[in-house]
Amino acid sequence: MKNGKNIFCGIDIGSRTGKIVLTDENRTIIFSDIIKTVASATKTYSQLVDLIPEDLKKSISASAVTGYGRESTAALCDFSATEITCHYLGVLCAHPGTKTIIDIGGQDSKVITVDNSGRIKDFAMNDRCAAGTGRFLEVMTERLGFSIEDFATLDVSGVEPVKINSTCTVFAESEVISMVSRDVPQNVITSSLARMVAANTFFLSRKTRPEAPFFMSGGVSKLEPVRFHLEKLFGNKIKTDENSQLMGALGAALFAMKETEKK
């Protein structure tokens, strides 16, 4: 993946999905794809690289990897970078002027704040407990008998949630089971789950002094109930877009471009 010209490759290997982005020298996305993470980070990496069209593959100048699997695959790329750096670069490229980045992935969540000069001001990250992440929601919605895709488009705007007190996946699951046994309506339980995820992220963000404009990246950005409750807690509109899940990979491609320019 070297000795090309003016195309840069970014790979983001997360705990649940792998993402790839190719950009040209104008920072325009010219190719992207998302796959489910397979048995190992290196296998996920190989599958992502195999997706690159041959006419683009031979023109790649440099590549960078980020995410959950970056340490295992760093030797396969020209550069590696932290998730904080890559989500920051990706979001600020796609949405200049963003002051707060919220990223909720499969097994971690992070909040990044940006100062008036466009640099990272502060960040907070939770990667020690799955409660409040995409995987947690997958498990919980399965308990309720529907898919995460069904959950993604639910309208919870007129539903009053019940507070789920626990921030631990195991205990939270017990609370959900208890609500099911008490015949709490399904839409109330789903709204409660969405609010729990939003609340965990909101509390995580407090030390970073978040301010608008907000942008949400990561797989959970596709889940409207979570974004609805985040907007209520932050008291602000939270933007997202069709490429929100690609922001880490986009940032990795931009990081590869920056490091190549330095050389």
Q: Does residue 251 share a domain with residue 235?
A: no
**pLDDT at residue number 127:** 65
pLDDT-derived band at 2 (thresholds 50, 70, 90) equals very low
Q: Does residue 160 share a domain with residue 104?
A: yes
Question: What type of residue is 38?
Answer: V
Q: Does residue 84 share a domain with residue 132?
A: no
- Cα separation, 164 vs 173, whole angstroms: 10
Q: Does residue 113 share a domain with residue 71?
A: no
Mean of pLDDT values over 134-140: 85
Tell whether the model's pLDDT for residue 71 goes beyond 90: yes
pTM above 0.85, yes or no: yes
- Provide the number of structural domains found in the chain: 2
Domain that holds residue 140: 100-240
pLDDT-derived band at 134 (thresholds 50, 70, 90) equals confident
- Cα separation, 200 vs 238, whole angstroms: 16
SS3 259: helix
Q: Does residue 152 share a domain with residue 91?
A: no
CA dihedral 88, 90, 91, 93 (to 10 degrees): 110
Q: Does residue 184 share a domain with residue 136?
A: yes
- Cα separation, 241 vs 116, whole angstroms: 23
Query: Which domain CATH number covers 197?
Result: 3.30.420.40
Q: Does residue 235 share a domain with residue 153?
A: yes
**pLDDT at residue number 130:** 65
Listed in sequence order, the residues at least 6 apart from 14 whose beta carbon sits closer than 8 Å to its beta carbon are 37, 67, 68, 69, 105, 106, 219, 248
**pLDDT at residue number 131:** 67
Tell whether the model's pLDDT for residue 20 goes beyond 70: yes
Q: Does residue 181 share a domain with residue 60?
A: no
Alpha carbon 176 to its chain centroid, in Å, reads 25
What does the pLDDT look like over 229-240, one tens digit per residue?
A: 999 999 999 999
